[in-house]
Amino acid sequence: MSSGRHARAGKITSVKEVRQNSKNKYLLCLMGKTYTSIQFMMHLFRARRWDAFHSPYLFDLFTYCCDENNGSPKFERIEQHRNYLLTSCEQIARLDYGAGSVAGQAMQVSGLARNALSQPFQCRFLFRLVNFLKPQSVLELGTSFGISTAYLSAGSISSEIDTVEGDPEIAAFAEKTFEALDCQNISLYVTRFQDYIDLHLTEKGTIDLLFIDGHHTGQALLHYYDAIKHTFHSDTVLVVDDIYWSEDMQAGWNELISYPEVTQSVDCFHFGLIFFSNNFIGLENHKIRLPIRMMLTKN
């Protein structure tokens, strides 16, 4: 069953600091959206089709993950819960440590959900990815409202999923998501990412699948990777969300895929995958276009 594990979060100590922090993050969010739109158009021209891999393993993986016939009755229930979040008028006060968020003021759940939730096609890809990989141990940094976590859970009910969310108010909604969808294989940690790494990562052991979907800066991405990579093995798969969130985030991704232990990477624009297996013949950093039908299908 999902279990809330709470850690005390840091506090902003003055109204002036709250306002300045909110202003800075709002500007970062606007800049990030503009940058992402430009990069998306460039990606469309530079990328190859999703099925253009020479590697049999990557071809099989993406053929499976991009096939909309590989669905589940659980999709409808999860998407119904997404719609509930997208129409909720409830107000919550943010306490968030990542880029692009506005802390210290009340915000409507529907607005937060529109900005924070992974798109349906991304979630279906994650479902199929865990269904294909059958990972025993999964770690997600950035629970948000728990929709992507629910897809991970549905894709492999035998996986043990740890998910980490720094905002207690958001985490409370995620807990409700897991209860409503009867997710039995999720442990929710309400704490900073670094606190989870320091206090709980050793309990996790080796990690088969790591999904980083929070604190969208290049420096943070590289820091968390360095702090967690000792738990990887050759078959570990790393998924990084929002790799074109900003110029800084893209720079972090580009540095990450240049590391010597990385044997293949796949840039899908909205997210990227990194592999460490020595079974690949030669290093390749792929840029691919996901199927248009897949991206346009809502559920």
Domain ranges of the chain: 4-296
Q: What is the mean pLDDT of the chain?
A: 86
**Token pair recorded at residue 273:** 């995958």
Alpha-carbon distance values, 109 to 18, 23, 170, 172 (Å) = 20, 20, 9, 12
Query: Global pTM?
Result: 0.85
Residue 291's pLDDT is: 87
Averaged over 150-166, what is the pLDDT? Answer: 97
- What does the pLDDT read at residue 19? 41
CA distance 89 to 109: 6
Q: Is residue 158 a contact partner of residue 186, using CB atoms and an 8 Å limit?
A: no
pLDDT in tens, 98-121: 555 555 568 899 999 998 899 999
Q: CA 253, CA 218: separation in Å to the nearest integer?
A: 7
Question: Using CA atoms, how far apart are residues 230 and 225, in angstroms rounded to an integer?
Answer: 9
Q: What is the pLDDT of residue 51?
A: 83
CATH fold of 4-296: Rossmann fold (3.40.50)
Crossing angle for the helix pair 120-133 and 56-65, to the nearest 10 degrees = 130
Is the pLDDT score of 242 beyond 60? yes
Residue 44 has pLDDT above 90, yes or no: no
